[in-house]
Amino acid sequence: MSKKVTITFNGKNIEAEEGANVLQVAKDNGINIAHYCYHEGLSIAGVCRLCMVKVNGNPKPVPSCNLTVQDGMTVDSESEDIKEIVRWGLQFHLANHPLDCPICDQAGECVLQESYMEYGAYDSNMTENKVQKKKVVDLGPTIMLDKERCILCTRCTRFTSEVTKTHDLGIFERGNRSEIGTYDNKPFENDYSVNTVDICPVGALTSKDFRFKQRVWYTRTSPSVCIKCSTGCNTEVSHNKRGAFRIKPRKNEDVNGLWMCDKGRTAYQWLNSVDRYLHGFTVNGTEKKHLSTAEARSMLKTHLSQEPKTGWLISPQHTVEEYEALFGYLKSSGVPNESVYLWYDWASGFEDFDGLLIRGDKSPNSKGLAKVAQKFGYAFDVDRMPSLKAKAFSQWVIVAPENMEPHTGLEKLIKGFDANSSIWLGSTRLPDEQLETCLKLLIPTFNYAEKSGTYINFANKAQTIKPFRTPNAQTEDLVELFTFLASVE
């Protein structure tokens, strides 16, 4: 166990871990110290010079990011002379900043804007013209750069040097001409690039996917867990009643630390009504007919009682609780192991790992599915789905994934079904309406924003999700659906 020390911070006693830096201790204790370059996931740069504090026994103010707590230390971050130092520091940061807050996508979550309101609020002393730089720089597939807004904090360059170790970004030129860029103007593309947008304290780096879609003050954030691979990164989803707009990482030292990959950020798209089913339907030939929840349930029940030779294809993208209800039903109805297949999803190798976060198993709950299946006496290997090619059954019930990436083999799978024979239980809209006509019945189910439950990640860590959107009344909770089917058997 690490040793604790006691320091006095703005007159209050605070316990801190020995070896911690003063700025992080302040943040952990809700004390606001202005800073731009410090980030807890990166090395100390000490370039912004804003986080100055007074310390007993030290004749001059010092940067708190590079100051280690000592037992008995007295720190002051609130006195008038410290505020004056921050004000001066801010003037330098704002000397060439364009102050285009009204059109900046970072407004509402800009640290520069916040510290100006807290410490600055002065009329500018600048008489010279600001240095003008390029404002719309296409940095790569995910990010736009506004060079004028950059305050050269070096967070983004340190991220690519220290976290991804891809060294994509650097600072070029000198003095007030210094600017962020890529070497030889190569596109900035790595699997974790959008983390630089999250850590950029100003609106210099913006995400192409999110920029200009919503003002952040019109959204609220809800905690969630990424469902795009078995790491299960902790996330927060920004959303409002019009839909979901972006996903950012949520700190969890045991799972993803402070980061997430770019792919995981796209999982908000299926939550929006254009990308998800809101009503069930039946298909006759190519004719689609909408069904109420009661009609869909009744049709499913009739099918299962009249067609005992139905195969089950189950995705590992659902919760432990849903699998409990599903396997409880399969067991009670006498469905044998040979009739149950798993829709494992992997892009290259199931066990692949990129050394940072991304795993080959593209589902959040393969472990949970295996665990519950085993509990009910079902056993599978990872290769179970390819044997579908043998067309063991002419009718299938598919408990579908939410992740509809092309590598899931979706199109090929559905086209392989007999026409109007199979039943689809899923939330995400099929990528091509034509594919829907291959089905007999589709029942829309809750997605990860609408349900509560547990995922078990690759390391056997159980993580819970909670609903943050109200599901449409015509969509089904899989737990309720299978409990209903088991009760009417």
Binding site for ligand SF4 (CB under 6 A): 150-156, 180, 200-202, 204-205, 226, 228-229, 231-233, 256, 260-261, 263-264, 357-358
Complex with ligand SF4: residue 170 or 416, whichever CB lies closer: 170
Complex with ligand SF4: residue 198 or 324, whichever CB lies closer: 198
Complex with ligand SF4: residue 31 or 151, whichever CB lies closer: 151
Shortest Å distance, C-beta 472 to ligand SF4: 26
Helix/strand/coil for 188: coil
Distance of alpha carbon 44 from alpha carbon 21, whole angstroms? 10
Shortest Å distance, C-beta 96 to ligand SF4: 12
Complex with ligand SF4: residue 142 or 422, whichever CB lies closer: 142
Complex with ligand SF4: residue 261 or 398, whichever CB lies closer: 261
Complex with ligand SF4: residue 58 or 176, whichever CB lies closer: 176
Shortest Å distance, C-beta 309 to ligand SF4: 37
Complex with ligand SF4: residue 264 or 368, whichever CB lies closer: 264
Per-residue burial over 186-207, b = 16 or more CB atoms within 10 Å of its CB, e = otherwise? eebebebbbbbbbbbbbbbbbb
Distance of alpha carbon 329 from alpha carbon 132, whole angstroms? 67
Distance of alpha carbon 57 from alpha carbon 249, whole angstroms? 40
Q: 478-488 and 320-332 are packed helices; what angle lies between their axes, rounded to 10 degrees?
A: 20
Complex with ligand SF4: residue 219 or 256, whichever CB lies closer: 256
Complex with ligand SF4: residue 320 or 423, whichever CB lies closer: 320
Cα–Cα nearest to 280, from 487, 419, 436, 414: 436
Distance of alpha carbon 382 from alpha carbon 454, whole angstroms? 21
Determine contact, residues 198/250, Cβ cutoff 8 Å. Answer: no
Shortest Å distance, C-beta 447 to ligand SF4: 15
Determine contact, residues 483/297, Cβ cutoff 8 Å. Answer: no
Complex with ligand SF4: residue 109 or 432, whichever CB lies closer: 109
Shortest Å distance, C-beta 469 to ligand SF4: 19
Complex with ligand SF4: residue 150 or 291, whichever CB lies closer: 150
Shortest Å distance, C-beta 112 to ligand SF4: 9
Shortest Å distance, C-beta 356 to ligand SF4: 8
Distance of alpha carbon 144 from alpha carbon 206, whole angstroms? 5
Shortest Å distance, C-beta 461 to ligand SF4: 12
Alpha helices in 77-138 (DSSP H): 80-94, 111-115
Q: How far from the centroid of its chain's Cα atoms is residue 241's Cα?
A: 19
Complex with ligand SF4: residue 115 or 339, whichever CB lies closer: 115
Per-residue burial over 410-439, b = 16 or more CB atoms within 10 Å of its CB, e = otherwise? bbebbeebeebbbbbbbbbbbeeeebbbbb
Shortest Å distance, C-beta 133 to ligand SF4: 11
Residues 6+ apart with CB under 8 A from 413: 388
Cα–Cα nearest to 422, from 394, 389, 384, 387: 394
Cα–Cα nearest to 79, from 7, 11, 6: 11
CB atoms within 10 A of CB 273: 11
Shortest Å distance, C-beta 168 to ligand SF4: 12
Shortest Å distance, C-beta 202 to ligand SF4: 5
Q: 């056993």: which residue's tokens? A: 379
Shortest Å distance, C-beta 319 to ligand SF4: 15
> What DSSP designation does 449 have?
T
283 forms bridges with which residues in the sheet? Answer: 288
Report which residue's Cβ sits closest to ligand SF4: 264
Q: Is the dihedral of CA 67, 69, 74, 77 positive or negative?
A: positive
Cα–Cα nearest to 170, from 201, 139, 138: 139
Q: 């519950």: which residue's tokens? A: 372
